[in-house]
Structure 1
Amino acid sequence: MLKKILGGLAAAILLFVGFIATRPDTFTTQRSAVLPVSADIAFARVNDLRRWSDWSPWAALDPQQKNTYSGPESGTGSSQSWVGNDQVGEGRMTITDSKANEQVTLELEFIKPIASTSTTTFTFSPAEGGTQVVWTMSGDHNFLSKVMSLFIDMDAMIGKDFEKGLANLKTVAEADAKKRAEAEEKARAEAEAAAAAQNAEAAPAVAAPATP
């Protein structure tokens, strides 16, 4: 009797493992949004990892998270490592490719709670009303992540964070655009005032009419 039970259990395990093996080997999650700013403003926020804390959907999950930066301040080779609570875990992301105002590609490595590596890409392109930002993450499924995908909609879970992050990015990018516009307006006003003062100094004095 025990042999039959063990045999049945072994068969069930083999069937389950076989079924898991048929699950997709890769995954891709993608979300996009149109930001009412120029591409260079949105790009600057993504290309500088030190500025991610202002808009990243995960930044607020652990305000005490420890971040370490290395490499250039921005662009290719720039890297961030983090150690945080159970919600953010531990990992590292590195910009592997950066094309000004067009694309930022990163290698995302999770160490804890589950070791994994994926590729994250941001693309920036002109769109009606501003700049379309497309956020994509893709990678390989290991056995454990294949099992998890049976019970958790990974695209919906990750996609929800992407949507929140893009909304945050829109907010900070709009603030950056406003600051730039105000600075440009101030500089223009100062330049016009300086030009007017210079013209006034250069203008010849008008002689007073002679008295009869």
Structure 2
Amino acid sequence: MLKTVLLIGVAAIALLLIFAATRPDTFAVERSATIAAPASKLFPLINDMRQFNTWNPYARKDPAMKAAYSGPAAGPGAVFDFEGNKDVGKGRISVTGATEPSQVTMQLDMWEPFEGHNEVRFTLVPDGAGTRVTWAMSGPSAFITKLMGIFFNMDQMIGKDFEAGLTNLRQLAEKP
């Protein structure tokens, strides 16, 4: 009886691992919001690392986070290194490209809680009297990410943070 239960358990774990291995090798998360402000006002709030962290939801998750800025304050080469609690982790985000006032690209390198190397892209497109801001992140899915994705909806988890960040950006940019 014990042998049968053990074999069923091993088979279930093997099937779970095989299923995880078949999951996509990349992931993408994207959220958008229309903000009642011109792109020229929003662009510096994204392109400047210090300004970015005034509304970035991850910077707000740990007030005691260790943080260091290097390189120029804004634009390509601007770097923010961080180490925080379990909600923040340890990593680096750096501006890799900027086309004023329509796009900022960044590289997010995480070392904790899981290693990851992802591209982050903000696009700003005129939308009526405001600007449509899209926050997107994409990158490779390591095996552990594929396995976690079976139990947790990563798009919803990360997407919720992106939505909060866009709300924070809206509140900051729409102040008179």
Q: Normalised by the shorter chain, which TM-score bucket?
A: over 0.9
Partner of 2:51: 51
Percent of pairs with identical residues: 44
Q: CA deviation at 1:46?
A: 0.1
Between structure 1 and structure 2, the one with the greater Rg is: 1
Whole-Å separation in 1 of the counterparts to 2:55 and 2:2 = 58
Partner of 1:172: 172
Whole-Å separation in 2 of the counterparts to 1:139 and 1:87 = 20
Structural mapping, 1:15-26, within 5 Å: 15-26=15-26
Report the 3-state secondary structure (helix = DSSP H, G, I; strand = E; otherwise coil) of the residue aligned with 1:24.
coil
Deviation string, structure 1 residues 133-157 (Cα, Å, up to 9, x no partner):
0100111111111111111111111
Partner of 2:42: 42
Whole-Å separation in 2 of the counterparts to 1:98 and 1:133 = 15
Question: Which has more helix, going by share of residues?
Answer: 1
Partner of 1:104: 104
CA separation of 1:9 and 1:151: change in aligned 2, threshold 3 A: closer
Structural mapping, 1:24-173, within 5 Å: 24-173=24-173
What one-letter code is carried by the residue in structure 2 that aligns with 1:115? Answer: E
Contact 1:79–1:94 (Cα < 8 Å) also in 2: yes
Higher mean displacement: 100-109 or 58-67: 58-67
Contact 1:70–1:80 (Cα < 8 Å) also in 2: yes
Whole-Å separation in 1 of the counterparts to 2:56 and 2:19 = 36
Contact 1:68–1:82 (Cα < 8 Å) also in 2: yes
Whole-Å separation in 2 of the counterparts to 1:81 and 1:69 = 6
Whole-Å separation in 2 of the counterparts to 1:2 and 1:153 = 34
Question: Which has more strand, going by share of residues?
Answer: 2
Whole-Å separation in 2 of the counterparts to 1:60 and 1:2 = 50
Q: CA deviation at 1:89?
A: 1.1
Using structure 2 for the length normalisation, give the TM-score: 0.92
Report the 3-state secondary structure (helix = DSSP H, G, I; strand = E; otherwise coil) of the residue aligned with 1:58.
helix
Q: CA deviation at 1:6?
A: 6.3
Using structure 1 for the length normalisation, give the TM-score: 0.77
Contact 2:31–2:159 (Cα < 8 Å) also in 1: yes
Gaps of at least 5 residues in structure 2 are: none
Deviation string, structure 1 residues 35-82 (Cα, Å, up to 9, x no partner):
111111101100001112221112221111111111111001111000
What one-letter code is carried by the residue in structure 2 that aligns with 1:125? Answer: V
Q: CA deviation at 1:3?
A: 7.4
Whole-Å separation in 2 of the counterparts to 1:166 and 1:4 = 52
Whole-Å separation in 1 of the counterparts to 2:38 and 2:31 = 19
Deviation string, structure 1 residues 155-195 (Cα, Å, up to 9, x no partner):
111111111100110111122xx3xxxxxxxxxxxxxxxxx
